[in-house]
Amino acid sequence: MTKVLFVDDEPIALEGIRMLADWEGLGFEVCGMCTDGEEALSLMKHCRPSLVITDIRMSVIDGLELIRQAQLLSETYRPIFIIMSGYGDFKYAQSALRYGVRHYLLKPVMDEEWETTLGEVMEELSSRQQMLEQQEMTISQLLPIMIAPLLRGELEELDESVSKQIGELDQEAKGWRCILIEGLSEEELASCSSYVIPPKVMVVDLMPGQVCLVVDCAEDVRERAGKVYDGFRQQGVAICVSIGPPVRFLRELHISYSGAVEASVQHFFYDNEGLVDYETADRLEFSYNFGMMATLEELLGAAERLQEQEAASILKQVFALFQNKKIAPEMVRMLCVHVVLKSMDVLRELEVASVDMWPLFRNLLHNRPKSLTVLEQSVWIYLNEYMRRLRERRESSSGHPLYGIERYIQENYKSPLTIKEIGKRFYMNPVYLGHAFVKKYGVGIIEYIHDLRIEEAKKQLTESAATIRSIAEGVGYVHYHHFLREFEKRVLEKPVEYREFARNDYAYNTTRSGK
């Protein structure tokens, strides 16, 4: 069975990970549940788990250090890591990306997101297992599979017969270049490759959505890549094609592959049509210092307030910053996911249906290549649907929602009221409700409630003989001292002083009017 290791410094979180899936039913053996990185690293040395699910912040050795040290255990041992961490650790994602971690989930983990991630991990583990089970294949069948780890620079020792054939291929070839194709599904590759990819080209299937063609430099590699690109496009398949630098030997293929991967980022930032060649492409230096969480909160706030023009303007600013600062594509996608998750939290809190919005969310994470322009369009489509659902709820009650809220407070201020309860009743997030109320009325909701209560108390102090304590309770105060504090803050007198002065003044005015 495939071994899996759980690492989190909170025992309850470890149990939560265990319950996320039917591990045994999926073919996993839980080889350990560790509460710190040092314990996990020691266990990894002995049981070699294929999958490690870890938190970031832990004592002794944190999650990021665990990943770094795990990479030093062996040149051939490369476990898959899934990081599960909270919003507060979002900034640490940049380090995880540098260590090659592709799976970063924010707590609390959404079921659909977890299922997608686990499916990708299972697919990768299955691919690795399949490679191990095909050791008895003929050399001609085995060669493309052996090329894959060569491309990634993960394999140094080759079977003697495979090494011999590679040497023979090197002698016959002028050199080698990688043509990286991104955006292919398994079905598209199977249906199109037979008449789009020439038979003599070595096809290496890498991670999902990514295929590499290994081409002899004796050919016009750029022309060959162009024909492949045009062939897939004629079949209605949108792909990105990137060409790596030439290398002399197959054992150096990882250099060409790395160059192709580096060049492929041009598609993301510049919407390049057709091909990108490493030898002519610009060299980009990525930034992982996103520093724009406050701007994203402004975007979410504008969407929450249904201010479409403002939201559209802020979104354009955000993506302009992505473009100008060359924020790493992985970070851009994670920031977009942050916007989606926060907005879904609002929908769940307001009990607005959001399950069927999942396809829009998955569109942001689709394996197909996505430029900044297309990604911005996808986020805007999602935000439009988000605002539409909020608008439908708010329009279900007559008039502007704040007018309805004001009337509701005026009719119920003597009852215990909270911003959360009011927000839930009127389908508004409490935080944004508070900001909107202050902006419209110049005072916070709680202060507005106190103002209404104290005004009513002043009236009763003047016109009734009820005790001050009973008046306080009648206008909504459970604690008498709380009433005294709020009364004196607004009237600058104690209730008994106010009553005495108000009654004398009332009697004087009554006498004068009777003359």
pLDDT-derived band at 85, boundaries 50, 70, 90: confident
Same-domain status, 343 and 425: no
Among 364, 395, 426, the domain-final residue is 395
Average pLDDT over residues 192-210: 68
In a domain, 286, yes or no: no
CB 378 within 8 A of CB 333: no
Average pLDDT over residues 17-41: 90
Average pLDDT over residues 281-302: 77
Q: Quote the CA–CA distance of 255 and 162 in Å, as a whole number.
A: 20
Q: Among candidates 510, 335, 329, 352, which has minimal Cα distance to 423?
A: 352
pLDDT of 94 > 60? The answer is yes
- What pLDDT is recorded for position 490? 92
- What pLDDT is recorded for position 221? 85
CB 82 within 8 A of CB 319: no
pLDDT-derived band at 143, boundaries 50, 70, 90: low
Average pLDDT over residues 189-210: 68
Helical H runs in 134-271?
139-151, 160-172, 186-196, 221-234, 253-270
In the chain, the amino acid numbered 106 is L
DSSP-assigned letter for residue 278: T
In a domain, 287, yes or no: no
CA distances (Å), 302 to each of 42, 172, 311, 425, in order? 49, 63, 5, 21
Average pLDDT over residues 291-297: 82
Residue 56, class by beta-carbon neighbours within 10 Å (0-12 exposed, 13-18 middle, 19+ buried)?
buried
Pick from 45-59, 84-98, 356-370, 418-432: least confident: 356-370
pLDDT of 366 > 70? The answer is no
Q: Please give the residue range of the domain that contains residue 189.
A: 136-277
Pick from 167-181, 190-204, 440-454: least confident: 190-204
- What pLDDT is recorded for position 338? 83
For residue 89, what is the domain's CATH number?
Answer: 3.40.50.2300
- What pLDDT is recorded for position 471? 94
- What pLDDT is recorded for position 515? 42
Average pLDDT over residues 460-484: 92
In a domain, 282, yes or no: no
Residue 399, class by beta-carbon neighbours within 10 Å (0-12 exposed, 13-18 middle, 19+ buried)?
exposed
- Mean per-residue pLDDT over the chain, rounded: 80
Higher pLDDT, 151 or 328: 328
Same-domain status, 237 and 143: yes
Q: Quote the CA–CA distance of 96 and 80 in Å, as a whole number.
A: 12
Residues β-bridged to residue 263: none
Same-domain status, 23 and 124: yes
Higher pLDDT, 179 or 358: 179
Pick from 234-243, 378-387, 459-468: least confident: 234-243
Average pLDDT over residues 487-493: 93
- What pLDDT is recorded for position 279? 82
Q: Whole-prediction pTM value?
A: 0.46
- What pLDDT is recorded for position 135? 42
Q: Among candidates 43, 51, 44, which has minimal Cα distance to 26?
A: 51
pLDDT of 109 > 50? The answer is yes
The model's pLDDT over 275-286, given as tens digits with 9 standing for 90+, comes to 888 887 766 676
pLDDT of 197 > 70? The answer is no
pLDDT-derived band at 442, boundaries 50, 70, 90: confident
pLDDT of 397 > 60? The answer is no
Same-domain status, 409 and 459: yes
- What pLDDT is recorded for position 487? 94
CB 36 within 8 A of CB 60: yes
For residue 258, what is the domain's CATH number?
Answer: 3.30.70.270
For residue 499, what is the domain's CATH number?
Answer: 1.10.10.60
Residue 71, class by beta-carbon neighbours within 10 Å (0-12 exposed, 13-18 middle, 19+ buried)?
middle
3 state DSSP class of 62: coil
Same-domain status, 117 and 140: no
Helical H runs in 58-110?
63-70, 93-98
In a domain, 284, yes or no: no
Q: Among candidates 336, 308, 310, 311, which has minimal Cα distance to 322?
A: 336
Report percent pLDDT > 90 for the chain.
18
Q: Quote the CA–CA distance of 40 and 33 in Å, as a whole number.
A: 8
Same-domain status, 220 and 335: no
- What pLDDT is recorded for position 93? 65
Q: Quote the CA–CA distance of 385 and 435 in Å, as a whole number.
A: 23
In a domain, 283, yes or no: no
- What pLDDT is recorded for position 362? 62
How many distinct structural domains can be found in the chain?
4
3 state DSSP class of 105: strand
Same-domain status, 35 and 126: yes
Higher pLDDT, 14 or 105: 14
Among 363, 395, 427, the domain-final residue is 395
pLDDT of 193 > 70? The answer is no
Q: Quote the CA–CA distance of 206 and 151 in Å, as a whole number.
A: 9
Tell me which range, 49-53, 111-115, 506-510, is most confidently predicted by mean pLDDT: 49-53
